[in-house]
Amino acid sequence: MASEEKIQLMPLGEIKPYEDAPFKVRLDENMEELVESIKENGVLVPAIARPHTDGGVEMLAGHRRLKACELAGLDKLPVIVKNLDDDTAIILLVDSNLHREDILPSEKAYAYQMKLEAMKRQGKRSDLTCEQVAYKSDKGIITADMCDSITDKNLEGKIIVIEANTLRPEYRTQAHQIVRCTGGNGARPDARGSAVFCEYLYKDKNTRFERYDVLGILKKEHYPEWLTKRLEFEKAIKGNTVFEYGGYHFLPVGIVNVANPFKYISNHTISDKSLGIWSNKYNDRYGKNKIDYTHKGFYNACNKTSCDVFKCLENSKVYIPAENELFEYTGEYKAYEEKAAKTKSKKHKDMER
Q: What does the DSSP assignment read for 82-117?
A: E---HHHHHHHHHHTTTT-TT--HHHHHHHHHHHHH
Residue 113: partners with Cβ closer than 8 Å, 6 or more residues away: 133, 137, 138, 173, 175
Query: Within this chain, do residues 183 and 249 fall inside the same structural domain, yes or no?
Result: no
The residue count of the chain comes to 353
Select from 132, 161, 193 the last residue of a domain.
132
> Could you give the number of structural domains in the chain?
3
Question: For residue 265, what pLDDT is reported?
Answer: 57
Q: Considering the domain boundaries, does residue 152 fall inside one?
A: yes
Q: Considering the domain boundaries, does residue 232 fall inside one?
A: no
Q: Structure pTM?
A: 0.46
Query: Within this chain, do residues 251 and 315 fall inside the same structural domain, yes or no?
Result: yes
Whichever domain contains 121, its CATH number is: 3.90.1530.10
Query: Within this chain, do residues 103 and 19 fall inside the same structural domain, yes or no?
Result: yes
Q: Considering the domain boundaries, does residue 149 fall inside one?
A: yes
Selection from 288, 293, 204 nearest residue 31 by Cα:
288
Query: Within this chain, do residues 27 and 86 fall inside the same structural domain, yes or no?
Result: yes
C-alpha torsion angle, residues 227, 228, 232, 234 (rounded to 10): 20
Query: Within this chain, do residues 51 and 95 fall inside the same structural domain, yes or no?
Result: yes
What's the helix, strand, coil split of the chain in %, to 5? 35, 25, 40
Q: Considering the domain boundaries, does residue 256 fall inside one?
A: yes
Q: Considering the domain boundaries, does residue 227 fall inside one?
A: no
Q: Considering the domain boundaries, does residue 250 fall inside one?
A: yes
Query: Within this chain, do residues 272 and 180 fall inside the same structural domain, yes or no?
Result: no
Helix (H, G, I), strand (E, B) or coil at 324: coil
**How far apart are the C-alpha atoms of 120 and 81, rounded to whole Å?**
25
Query: Within this chain, do residues 153 and 199 fall inside the same structural domain, yes or no?
Result: yes
Select from 222, 253, 285 the last residue of a domain.
222
Quick check: 345 and 257 in contact, CB under 8 A?
Answer: yes
Select from 132, 161, 196 the last residue of a domain.
132
Q: Considering the domain boundaries, does residue 116 fall inside one?
A: yes
Query: Within this chain, do residues 263 and 335 fall inside the same structural domain, yes or no?
Result: yes
Exposure string over 264-283, b if 16+ CB within 10 A, otherwise e? bbeebbbebeebbbbbeebb
7 CB-contact burial (10 Å; exposed 0-12 / middle 13-18 / buried 19+): exposed
C-alpha torsion angle, residues 242, 245, 250, 252 (rounded to 10): -70
Quick check: 253 and 309 in contact, CB under 8 A?
Answer: yes
Query: Within this chain, do residues 159 and 273 fall inside the same structural domain, yes or no?
Result: no
Question: For residue 226, what pLDDT is reported?
Answer: 81
298 CB-contact burial (10 Å; exposed 0-12 / middle 13-18 / buried 19+): buried
Q: Considering the domain boundaries, does residue 91 fall inside one?
A: yes
Neighbours of 123 (CB within 10 A): 7
Residue 278: partners with Cβ closer than 8 Å, 6 or more residues away: 246, 269, 270, 286, 290, 291
* Helix/strand/coil (H/E/C) assignment for every residue in 221-242: HHCCHHHHHHHHHHHHHCCCCC
Question: For residue 298, what pLDDT is reported?
Answer: 65
Q: Which domain holds residue 155?
A: 144-222
Mean pLDDT for back-to-back runs of 10 residues, the chain (353 residues): 65 88 80 88 88 88 90 91 88 81 71 80 53 41 89 93 85 88 91 89 84 92 86 75 70 78 54 40 41 57 76 81 74 73 45 40
DSSP label of 292? S
